[in-house]
Amino acid sequence: MIEVIRITYYIMNEFLQIRLLQVLPIGWNFGWSLLLIPLLPFAGFLLLGLFGRKYIKNSAGIIATALLLVSTVLSIYIAYVYFFEYGKVMGMYQKFVPIQFTWLEFSQGVSIDFGVLIDPISVMMLAIVTFISLMVHIYSLAYMKGDERFPTYYAFLGLFTFSMLGLVMASNIFQMYIFWELVGVSSFLLIGYYYNKPSAVAACKKAFIVTRFADLGFLLGILILSFHAGTLDFNTLVQRLTVDGSEELHSAYTSTFLGASALTWAAILIFIGGAGKSAMFPLHVWLPDAMEGPTPVSALIHAATMVVAGVYLVARMFPIFSMSEGAMHFVTYVGIFSALFAALIACTQTDIKRVLAYSTMSQIGFMMFALGVSGSNLKNGSLNYSGLGAGYTAAMFHLFTHAIFKALLFLGAGSVIHFIHSNELKDMGGLRKYLPITNITFLIACLAISGVPPFAGFFSKEEILLAAYQHKALIYWIALITSGLTAFYMFRLYFLIFWNKGTIVHGEHHGEGGFAMMLPLVLLAVGAAFAGFIPFGNFVTADGKPMEVVFHWQFSIAPVSIALAGIFTAMWLYRKQNNKPVAIANSLNVFYKAGYNKFYIDELYLFITKKILFNLVGRPAAWFDKNVVDGMVNLTGNTTQLISEKIKEFQSGKVQQYAIYFLAGVIGLAVVFIYIWK
Amino acid sequence: MNLILLILLPLLTAVLILLMRNSQQVKLTALIGSVAQLALAFALLLAFRNERVAGNEAQMLFELQYNWFPAWNISFHLGVDGISVAMILLTSFVVIAGVLVSWNVTKMTKEFFFLLILLSLGAYGFFISLDLFILFFFLEIAVIPKYLLIGIWGSGKKEYAANKLALMLMGGSALVLVGLLGVYFGSHQKSFDLITLANTHIPVEVQKICFPLLFVGFGVFSALFPFHTWVPDGHSSAPTAGSMFLAGISMKLGGYGCLRVATYIMPDGAKEYANIIIVLSTIAILYGAFATMMQKDLKYINAYSSVSHCGFVLLGIGMLTKTAMTGAVMQMVSHGLMTALFFAVIGMIYERTHTRQVNEMGGLLKVMPFITTILFIVGFCSLGLPGLSGFVAEMTVFMGSWQHPDPFHRIATIAACMSIVVTAVYILRAIGQTAMGPLKEGYVNLSDAKWNEKIAAIILIGGIIAIGVAPFWLNDLIGPATQIIMNKLAAVQPK
């Protein structure tokens, strides 16, 4: 026993080498409670994953929810403590790294350190991720009730929450990459939760592979950065790469490849990683298919949290991005294009979850270009935030509000699907009578996302549009059109579900799924209605200093009117059953078809993978190996065998033959000695 | 810690197995023997750590030296450093798992387990030898049992596969022998002693000839392109434990030899041929991955993916940086555990479904949750999921490779990085078709894993997770040893 204790102690000391780098003024307990936030869901994952199926099948949901509740309370407490008590030093929100230990050292200075980074965006994300996750946990208690793999479901949710929180807290870019991958795999597991449905299997594979492809970019970006900056630590990276005249920055600027500097390449590659997770064009193809997963999962992962990881990544690396004009433009244009592109597709889709998926993509596009238009400060050399960062705050704000109302939309959709047992809009209509609470909350969410004051989306979208307006007119106009489209497709969805034709409900109807499903809807609806009033600029800014957001009511006229126009168009077309929508769709024939078929991007991918990768690379490689490389081996073997067959005949045992060989040998040697050797 | 125990223990087990009367006794003896091996390996690890913590900075620990054949200066010289300890641990993990999954072998049980234990004897001897002659001797001991294992207990075209494997590996060892003799005479030391050779400067001309001989010779074991074709055939015909030993241990003999023997004693040669190694291993990584994509047989999938993964070992060595080299050793350990587990799980599935064709399976998650969970874990490890060992090893190789700023190394690294996507494609394809999807008829009544299979899997998964979650201990173990090889390389005048 003593030996066991000794060895455990030894392992703790020798192997783990946890060292506290910095202790917050609150004391060291703070650091450990920070660690508990991700570790509790992880404990849930282990507990339910190992023992759930056999021993705690029925209480699995309660256990997971209780664990997460503690995490949520801790996160909100920490957010409170950070923002209102200890975070601000000398008028600036600080970056703290309360805990850090070296996990894997590659070379001097370059190591993966696991740590917790506390700054405004990570604290904000901690709160929102745990909160949404908690809502989904509660909601699933009713939604997934009676499911055969109930404990597994909660185990995966726990794994996801753990990974997402780890990603958010990461203090080291490689740590972020690690959790980035873990988030990807939990998304894979949850999309493929209904594993015996072939479409779900295809969807989860697609999601993983597409995001993996993007992660390759992330990885290469990390490699480039680590080479030039000689570190993987976020704070050190930013320090070294944003100070004018530093050796690292010089090397990152001056080494160029194809006309762009290493810094630009690194930023763009890292952005590609973010674009994969955040479903930016052209890496968005996995997101609509990911809707094969259970609906609460879509709400959590594919709407509120994981898909904004790309935005979070760009925000985390923002000082480095802003050192490169090229990278910022790249982010802007990819973001704005994705926003418009997805909004167009969303207008034509008939699957309720797919409409929401494209809407997510479009809204993330908003956040991305908001980051992109935050400006670049190349001209002045060292990093200087003055005049920058309006877009940064706006993007974070929109991320925050979007998480709330999009989770609400998905959970509302889940309530509808739960009731009607179908995802297709054609099976729905007139549901306001059966689902009153869902109806109201869904309406609030639709108003919020459309940007109608005073709901949450209005404020955040307003700030984004303002930032775009200050940057470039083109971006502003496209964004404006997109927000009109947003209002249109969201209300198209709303009217088609809750108004339009009356639906004949088959069989017995079980109402709205009870308290566990309604509570999250109501709480989120409250958030969607009022979250906009949070003075976000006071808390989350690019440089940590509070920013006064000046609000011009004149500026709001255009966005609000275009939103209302979208809403009324949708009302006119879809409130009552009529054939106007069909007529319009027919008159737009080609465009409508292209939109309905998602502009044929999927077909393009299929062509590239099936026709080119499989048939032109994989198959020849396999053939080459089997026939040429292995053929050489067999040829060697066969030739040896053939020769030995021949040689075998020399040793025939016939004396006459030996005599002839002997004689031939003698003659041969004689010839050699006489003529050649001399 | 007396290193000779590592040879005596398997020897004793093997002899005892021969003395046993029935198959039950044989199996128990083999199991007890392999548990003892595992315990011994852990004891070695602890003793090694203790020595290091106590400040013993000697390159090799627990050295032993007996004169064996003084006329030729051959001595029985044993000793371990961090790399050897890691490989010994790996071997002991694979051996116990291999013994456990072979519990149902009914054909000539005694001979089967005897050969398994004999193979482990060869591997341990190989990893602790500091005399190249002894090392070669143990290498041969590790080859012969494989021929019999495949030829007798194999399936499919087993004679062909056994011949091919034995001949190609023999060919490899022939090259090794020639190379060793070249070093023996060319170094003017008339010595096979690794440390002696490493401390003398072998003439560059000799290195230029002997390095490729040794590297290619060992490389054949480690699936060096284009000498890898024994891998798919050999693995697919071998019995489950045979595949596990082959991929988990034998292929590592090659990687270890390339690093410890070829690169360490002939740094000039290594520098001379590094670029060729990089090209060949990058080809192996990508080409193996693409070839895997087209395979339909689970064993072929894992065999080709082994070619791809072992490419990382050789790439790490060829990069000649400390980080990459550490990564190469990590990859050896990681791949050994992972691929042994993969073959074990393939064997478990095959025993139940009687097929290895992925398109004939489907939905197995429903009937055998434990086995398919292993399949998921090992698949994730193979595609480099963080938290499992594959990620750590691959990333270390990538980081080490990226330390070279020139375009040649950059392109090779990027190409190698691309394999993480292709790997994801083929692994998910395999998992998706076997474990997920609708359950095929006829598989409804299949049973899940039995106790022996569960223990075997848990042991290997334990190893995978221990590296994946806490790589620092492995890094600390290997790092100083690779540093010595790097110092030797750094001392060489640049060309």
- Give pLDDT tens digits for A259-277: 778 888 999 999 999 999 9
Mean per-residue pLDDT, A99-108: 84
Does the CB of A9 have a partner CB in chain B at under 8 Å? no
Residue-level pLDDT at B363:
84
Mean per-residue pLDDT, A8-30: 48
Q: From B378, B466, B470, B463, select the one nearest B90 (Cα to Cα).
A: B463
- Bridge partner residues of A473 (DSSP): none
Q: What is the ipTM of this complex?
A: 0.93
Note whether B290 contacts A617, CB cutoff 8 Å. yes
Interface test with A, best of B175, B395, B403, B404 (most A CBs within 10 A): B395
Where helices occur in B104-156 by DSSP H, the ranges are: 109-128, 132-153
Which residues have a Cβ under 8 Å from the Cβ of A403 and sit 6 or more positions away?
A: A128, A132, A303, A304, A305, A308
Note whether B294 contacts A629, CB cutoff 8 Å. no
With a pLDDT cut of 70, the percent of chain B lying above it is 99
With a pLDDT cut of 90, the percent of chain B lying above it is 47
Note whether B291 contacts A209, CB cutoff 8 Å. no
Q: Which residue of B has its CA nearest to A101?
A: B472
**Structural contact between residues B420 and A216, judged by C-beta atoms closer than 8 angstroms:** yes
How far is residue B118 from each of residues A242, A673, B34, B134, B243, measured CA to CA in Å? 60, 53, 12, 16, 15
Per-residue pLDDT reduced to its tens digit, A455-472 = 888 888 888 888 888 778
Question: Taking 70 as the threshold, does the pLDDT of residue B444 lie above it?
Answer: yes
Which residues have a Cβ under 8 Å from the Cβ of A122 and sit 6 or more positions away?
A: A168, A169
Cα(A160)–Cα(A156) distance, integer angstroms = 6
Question: Taking 50 as the threshold, does the pLDDT of residue B272 lie above it?
Answer: yes
Mean per-residue pLDDT, B458-464: 93
Residue-level pLDDT at B228:
86
Cα(B330)–Cα(B322) distance, integer angstroms = 12
Mean per-residue pLDDT, B437-447: 83
Cα(B293)–Cα(A344) distance, integer angstroms = 36
Residue-level pLDDT at A505:
63
- Chain B contact set for A195 (CB, 8 A): 363, 365, 435-437
Q: How far away is chain A from the Cα of B27, in angstroms, using its nearest Cα?
A: 30
Cα(B125)–Cα(B38) distance, integer angstroms = 15
Question: Taking 80 as the threshold, does the pLDDT of residue A550 lie above it?
Answer: no
Residue-level pLDDT at A30:
64
Amino acid at A428: M
Mean per-residue pLDDT, B227-243: 88
Mean per-residue pLDDT, A670-675: 84
Note whether A195 contacts B293, CB cutoff 8 Å. no
Residue-level pLDDT at A522:
92
Could you tell me the residue ranges of all domains in chain B? Answer: 5-490
Residue-level pLDDT at A509:
60
| Per-residue pLDDT band at B93 (split at 50, 70, 90) | very high
Question: Taking 70 as the threshold, does the pLDDT of residue B452 lie above it?
Answer: yes
Residue-level pLDDT at B448:
85
- Chain B contact set for A613 (CB, 8 A): 293
Cα(A444)–Cα(A279) distance, integer angstroms = 25
Note whether B396 contacts A185, CB cutoff 8 Å. no
Per-residue pLDDT reduced to its tens digit, B280-313 = 999 999 988 988 888 888 999 999 999 999 999 9
Note whether B380 contacts A227, CB cutoff 8 Å. no
B427-463 burial code (b ≥16 CB/10 A, e <16): bbbbbbbbbbbebeeebeebeebeebbbbbbebbbeb
Question: Taking 60 as the threshold, does the pLDDT of residue A115 lie above it?
Answer: yes
Residue-level pLDDT at A14:
47
Question: Taking 80 as the threshold, does the pLDDT of residue A330 lie above it?
Answer: yes
Least confident among A595-604, B122-131, B456-465? A595-604
Residue-level pLDDT at A28:
44
With a pLDDT cut of 70, the percent of chain A lying above it is 91
Cα(B162)–Cα(B169) distance, integer angstroms = 11
Which residues have a Cβ under 8 Å from the Cβ of A504 and sit 6 or more positions away?
A: none
Q: For tokens 């709205």, what's the residue? A: A512
Per-residue pLDDT reduced to its tens digit, A415-442 = 888 888 888 888 887 788 888 888 899 9
Cα(A101)–Cα(A113) distance, integer angstroms = 5
Note whether B164 contacts A185, CB cutoff 8 Å. no
Question: Taking 60 as the threshold, does the pLDDT of residue A377 lie above it?
Answer: no
Angle at B235 between CA B231 and CA B237, to 5 degrees: 125
Per-residue pLDDT reduced to its tens digit, B314-347 = 999 999 999 999 999 999 999 999 999 999 999 9
- Chain B contact set for A147 (CB, 8 A): none
Q: Which residue of B has its CA nearest to A218?
A: B417
Rounded to 10°, the helix B267-293/B298-319 angle is 150
Q: For tokens 């160029």, what's the residue? A: A256
- Chain A contact set for B428 (CB, 8 A): 205, 208-209
Mean per-residue pLDDT, A1-14: 55
Question: Taking 90 as the threshold, does the pLDDT of residue A188 lie above it?
Answer: yes
Does the CB of A103 have a partner CB in chain B at under 8 Å? yes
Residue-level pLDDT at A11:
53
Two structure tokens written together for B424 = 């994801």
The kind and range of the H/E element at B56 are: none
B295-332 burial code (b ≥16 CB/10 A, e <16): bebbbbbbbbbbbbbbbbbbbbbbbbbbbbbbbbbbbb
Mean per-residue pLDDT, B241-266: 91
Question: Taking 70 as the threshold, does the pLDDT of residue A504 lie above it?
Answer: no
Per-residue pLDDT reduced to its tens digit, B19-42 = 988 888 889 999 999 999 999 999
Q: Max CA-CA distance within chain B?
A: 69
Least confident among A174-178, A305-309, A380-384? A380-384
Q: Which residue of A has its CA nearest to B291?
A: A622
Residue-level pLDDT at A535:
84
Give the closest of B49, B290, B420 to A618, CB-based.
Answer: B290
Note whether B438 contacts A196, CB cutoff 8 Å. yes
Average confidence score pLDDT of chain B: 89
How far is residue B390 from each of residues A404, B256, B345, B471, measured CA to CA in Å? 37, 18, 17, 11
- Bridge partner residues of A89 (DSSP): A92
Least confident among A207-216, A415-424, A599-608, B209-218? A599-608
With a pLDDT cut of 90, the percent of chain A lying above it is 29
Mean per-residue pLDDT, A21-29: 46
